[in-house]
Amino acid sequence: SQELEQSPQSLIVQEGKNLTINCTSSKTLYGLYWYKQKYGEGLIFLMMLQKGGEEKSHEKITAKLDEKKQQSSLHITASQPSHAGIYLCGADMEYGNKLVFGAGTILRVKS
Amino acid sequence: DVKVTQSSRYLVKRTGEKVFLECVQDMDHENMFWYRQDPGLGLRLIYFSYDVKMKEKGDIPEGYSVSREKKERFSLILESASTNQTSMYLCASSYWGLAGGPGELFFGEGSRLTVL
């Protein structure tokens, strides 16, 4: 969706390097969700952020939502081949019950 | 273990055929969704349902219809398949979230449809 811009579109990193993926909207995000997808499979939930300034971590993945609640970043520390896949951000932009998704970021990790 | 099951992982159909994609969830979720995923476009919402027999159009409903006769089952129907409907179709379900939004979505494995 153009309502949610993800960058970069794709990323190749050397194993062990850090990386950041961004998700930006022109509208206030009531809830921001990060998902990971292995090629040809369904999406796996990573994290959800709702409050401005909120930050959550799971293993080596950290996600933040800015104070204005219009931008989120996903940061992976010391990347591993198991981190490879497609990362998608999804957002609840209005008081409703559907999520809008970004186009996704393809991550490849070179050993 | 929570589960969203899509009936077919891979389908090949001919132009003009009627196609049924079935989705079943075992989590007693109110909300169910059908998305299609295409390279460079991400996930686009086709239809969603927040209750039995209720349905709402998403962003790209043209050429599709849905059916939700039971809470656990949400079907996507392509009345007359066309080649531009070749895509990966993903079903998802969720509770109502704390802030009134959809909450965490649980996805099925996806159904890859090819229309020849």
pLDDT digits 0-9 by tens, B21-80: 999 999 999 889 999 999 888 899 999 998 898 899 998 999 999 999 999 999 999 999
Q: What Cα–Cα distance (Å) separates residue A12 from each residue in A45, A46, A84?
A: 22, 21, 9
The pLDDT score that the predictor gives to residue B32 is 93
A24 touches chain B (CB under 8 A): no
A40-64 per-residue burial string, b: 16 or more CB within 10 A, e: under 16: ebbbeebbbbbeeebeeeeeebbbb
The pLDDT score that the predictor gives to residue B102 is 66
A38 touches chain B (CB under 8 A): no
CB contact under 8 A, A97 and B105: no
User: CA–CA separation, B74 vs B52, rounded Å?
Assistant: 9
User: CA–CA separation, B88 vs A16, rounded Å?
Assistant: 32
DSSP A37-83: E-TTS-EEEEEEE-STT-EEEETTEEEEE-TTSSEEEEEESS--GGG
- Of A18-27, A62-71, B89-98, least confident by mean pLDDT is B89-98
Touching A: B residues 2-61, CB under 8 Å: 4, 31, 33, 35, 40-45, 48, 50, 56, 58-59
The pLDDT score that the predictor gives to residue A107 is 96
Task: Please name the member of A4, A9, A31 whose beta carbon is closest to the beta carbon of B101.
Answer: A31
DSSP B80: S
CB contact under 8 A, B41 and A103: yes
Segment A3-22 mean pLDDT: 95
Q: What Cα–Cα distance (Å) separates residue A32 from each residue in A63, A72, A86, B26?
A: 10, 8, 17, 25
Burial class (CB in 10 A: 0-12, 13-18, 19+), A101: buried
